[in-house]
Structure 1
Amino acid sequence: MEEQWRGPLYPARLPSFHRVPAPAPLADRIRWFWIPEWDLAPGRTSRQEVLPFPALNFVIEPGGARLYGPATRRSFRDLTGTGWAFGLLLRPAAVPFLCADPGALRDIDIPLEVPALRTPVTDAMVSQAGDDGGARRAAAVAAASDWAETTLPKPSPEGMLANRFEELIEADPSLTRVDQAADLMGVSVRSLQRIARKHVGLPPLAMIRRYRLQEAAERLRTDPGLGIADVAAELGYADHAHLTDVFREVLGFTPSGYRREAASGELEERHG
């Protein structure tokens, strides 16, 4: 499945958007850097709706830097004018170095004063405005990588277990229960609950369900011929009704409504 578009609910509506994998030495602390840039006509608004990963994001914008906690619902932002953002999707192992209690940040964000990161990233993003964006993005990624390498310590063994849990639930769509993951990792369910709480701020079952729901949304959007009941069965939902209930609870609409809206947006993008 194409990782580039997992998370954004309506990729056709996105402005310029790039995900850059973290350099190999940082892959245990940062999953990727994500960089949206936009330049909208006066009076135009672009609503960006996202089903976030069960993770924390560190985001730099012209106005400052903020740490975004784990989200329990879809989120959205209305873009206007001209702007940019530079985000670091954190691996679970990195979270304790920036936040002692990620659960306290559920569905909220807080400012972080990190000039050693914010200043060089901002300088990179506002420089070389005449190019196609590649040079400034590369410079911003290099600056953020340098900061992370010198600031975020190497993960602890527990942090690496937290990373492994994230990797397991992403890679295996058939993994739908916490006890399955605990058995694969060789730890108790209680230990896995403690690890998830410390490193992500969500229960492990909530993390599993978020990945399954992201995948369900991706399949519904990209494969119009795939039945909703089939998606539900493949991803561990009891039936079509169960998947519909989860969609309504987390996203605020039904699977069929989402599929229609996503298809409409892609059609508009092709002919707009």
Structure 2
Amino acid sequence: MVNPTRGVLYPARLPEFHRLVPTGPASDLVAWFWIPEWDIEPGRSSRQEIVGYPALNLVVEPRTVTLSGATTRATHRDLRGTGWAVGALLRPAAVAALIDDPAALVDTERVLDEPELLSAVEAAMCSGEGHRERAVEIFSRWLVALTGPPGAAALQANALVDVLMGDDAASSPDEAATRMAASVRTLQRLAHRHVGLSPAAMIRRRRLQEAAERLRVDPGLDLATLAAEFGYADHAHLTRDFRAVLGISPSWYRTGAGR
């Protein structure tokens, strides 16, 4: 089951939001598709704040297709009026077909000229009941045709992300290298080529996502206990990571301020 709110700092602010898991060949290319749809009354807005996964996103919205790089800090977007987006959280195997150097796209995005994908997804999203599933099917077919069968290095990069971000994830690059029977240097090259961030940065992002989620579920949790649970050296280390990425302290976040 895909957790629909992991990485979302304030889930109560979400508009109608769906995550759909890909099937068939697309499962090697996309972790999941995410589809928000909103209709916000005039004069109001809804701010969405995200601690993103260490991955690239390919996003189709009305009139535009964008490729967004991995992020090193929390990001936000203010939603207004009526709209939708269909995003693909890309697995590493999809990245090489879209960009030569994903590190150059970290914390930024690029508009892509993909009129066929744009028009087909727009038509699906306006097609009535079952529109989300049709949009994901079209998106999946387009990606599979673009990338072709993943090569060995791409599949190894997928495996790296599974080891770093999945259930029972590795707590260090050394542990990940041992599990994958590869050198840390090999993992660093894979991560740079297919994600744009280092394995250590990916681990830090996962720990911060999980720590924020635990605070939402249990705001009374002792911060020293939380820090130890997620592998931080101490409470101060957790607080530094929170401030560096989210811009706020864990103590402030757990009060529910601004939710």
TM-score range, shorter chain: over 0.9
- Please provide the CA RMSD for this pair: 1.5
CA-CA distance at 1:206 after TM superposition: 0.4
Does the aligned pair in 2 maintain the 1:57–1:88 contact within 8 Å? yes
Instruction: Report the structure, 1 or 2, having the larger helix content.
Output: 1
User: For residues 49-60 of structure 1, what are the structure 2 equivalents within 5 Å?
Assistant: 49-60=49-60
Partner amino acid, structure 2, of 1:36? P
2:187 maps to: 192
What is the rounded CA distance, in whole Å, between the counterparts of 1:58 and 1:9 in structure 2?
21
Do structure 1's residue 211 and structure 2's residue 206 form an aligned pair?
Answer: yes
Asked if residue 100 in structure 1 is aligned to residue 100 in structure 2, the reply is: yes
Match of 1:8 in 2: 8
The 1:55–1:174 alpha-carbon spacing in structure 2 relative to 1, beyond 3 Å, is closer
| Identical residues among aligned pairs (%) | 53
Q: Which structure 2 residues correspond to residues 69-218 of structure 1 after superposition, within 5 A?
A: 69-128=69-128, 134-172=129-167, 175-218=170-213
Question: 1:61, CA displacement in angstroms?
Answer: 0.6
With the length of structure 2 as denominator, give the TM-score of the two structures.
Answer: 0.96
Report how far residue 25 of structure 1 moved.
2.5
Gaps of at least 5 residues in structure 1 are: 129-133, 266-272
Give ranges in structure 2 of 5+ residues lacking alignment.
none
Residue 268 (structure 1) aligns with: none
* Count of residue pairs the alignment pairs up: 259
Equivalence for 2:234: 239
Maintained 8 Å contact 2:215/2:221: yes
The DSSP-based 3-state class of the residue aligned with 1:154 is coil
Query: Per-residue displacement from partner, 1:153-206 (whole Å, max 9, x unpaired)?
Result: 221111111111111122356632111111111111111110000000011110
Please say if residues 173 and 212 of structure 1, whose CA atoms lie closer than 8 Å, have aligned partners that are also in contact.
no
| Distance in structure 1 (CA, Å) of the matches to 2:234 and 2:48 | 29
Contact 2:219 2:255 in 1 (8 A): no
Tell me the TM-score normalized by structure 1: 0.91
Q: Find the aligned partners of 1:172 and 1:26 in 2 and give their Cα distance.
A: 21
Q: CA deviation at 1:220?
A: 0.8
SS in 1 for 2:18: strand
Deviation at 1:118, TM superposition (A): 1.1
C-alpha offsets along residues 118-142 of structure 1, whole Å, 9 cap, x if unaligned? Answer: 11101111232xxxxx511111111
Q: Is contact 2:56-2:95 (8 Å) kept?
A: yes
